[in-house]
Structures are given as structure tokens and as C-alpha cells.
Amino acid sequence: MAKAVFLDKDGTLIPDIPYNVNPALITLQPDAIEGLQRLQDEGFIFIIISNQAGVARGIFKEDALPAVEEKLAELMAVHGLQLSGFYYCPHYPEGAVEGYSYDCDCRKPKPGMILKAAQEHHIDLAASWMIGDILNDVEAGNRAGCKTVLINNGNETEWVTGAMRTPTYICSSINQAAQDILTPQMA
């Protein structure tokens, strides 16, 4: 079975530009590349797990997302990194677009996207990690059975705590997260 690093997209892997689906504006976080390379060298695969409420809100159409996935894969490939999967949730209960405006099982903090990816890619969730910049990412990872990292970059503004919302590590970047993931901690 594979081991994965599930990555939130906006604010974690790439700078957060709200509702951006323009590939020309997508860049990788500069403090992520070295860490991702180290994680890949240790056998982790990368899968993006992203809420995309802009679809349900009518801000952009779902057919804009394949170009986003393609751009992310290209940017990662420049650094020798392989993107193994791109999972997104287009739903939002308070959305305006019929067919997308409902409470689903895939929208983080629910673990649906992670569980689907794990099944499709034969991933050992107990050996895997979810890295995100808000506690909904942490909760989704914990609920799926992963270990979790919160990138504390100011994007979490609510700090609603709970049993499933406690990360394994809190870090400032993916580079630091990789260091913590790959360095055995003393008990």
C-alpha cells in the first residue's frame, strides 16, 4: 500500500487567491518545494484535497478545474515532483447553483475526498498525512485516519477546537512540516 501526503491547495500548496481558477496566477509556495522533494524521496505520493465552493456559489464553472490541476502538475514537475491525484469538492450548502448547493460527504471537514483517494490509490491512511492551513483540513485528515499538520500562516481565523481538530504538528510551512514528519520524535 502507498503512503500519501494529502495537500490542501489554497493557502497551503499555493498562495491563497480567493476563487482563483486562472492558471496564469497559480504559483507554488516557495517554502514548500524542498519539503515536498524530501517527502517524495521518502516514498510519499501527493494528492490535492480541495474545497471548491466557487462552483456552488456560481463564481466559476466546474470545467475550469482541470486546467488548475494541469497547472499544478506542471509546476510540481519543474521541481521533479509528481502529482498523483487532484480531488475537489464543488459543493456548498448555501450555494446558488442547482445541483451543487447541498450538504455532501466530501466537503472538508468531512473525510470523503481523502477516503475516495485512499481507495482509488491503495493508500495506507495510518501511514499518511494531511497538510492544510485551517482546522477543517486537520479534522478531515484526522477523521480519515491520517496524521495531520496545520500550517499556521494566519488563514485559520476561527480556531474552533474539538477532538478531531487537533493536529499532530503545527508548522509554519510545508518545508518545516516535512522536517517534522521525517524526524522521529522523542517520546
C-alpha–C-alpha distance, residues 63 and 75, integer Å = 20
Q: Is residue 32 part of a domain?
A: yes
Helices (H), the chain: 33-41, 54-57, 65-78, 112-121, 135-144, 174-182
> Which DSSP category does 74 fall into?
H
CATH of the domain at 111: 3.40.50.1000
- In this prediction, residue 184 carries a pLDDT of 72
Q: How many domains does the chain have?
A: 1
- Let me know if residue 144 belongs to a domain: yes
Q: How far apart are CA 52 and CA 21, in angstroms?
A: 10
The model scores a pTM over 0.85? yes
Q: Is 10 a catalytic residue?
A: yes
**Grid cell locating 65:** 478545474
In a domain, 68, yes or no: yes
- Which three cell numbers mark 9? 491547495
Please tell me the predicted confidence (pLDDT) of residue 185. 59
Q: Which domain holds residue 155?
A: 3-182
Per-residue pLDDT of the chain (187 residues; tens, 9 = 90+): 999 999 999 999 999 999 999 999 999 999 999 999 999 999 999 999 999 999 999 999 999 999 999 999 999 999 999 999 999 999 999 999 999 999 999 999 999 999 999 999 999 999 999 999 999 999 999 999 999 999 999 999 999 999 899 999 999 999 999 999 999 754 4
Known catalytic membership, residue 41:
no
* Domain-located, residue 187: no
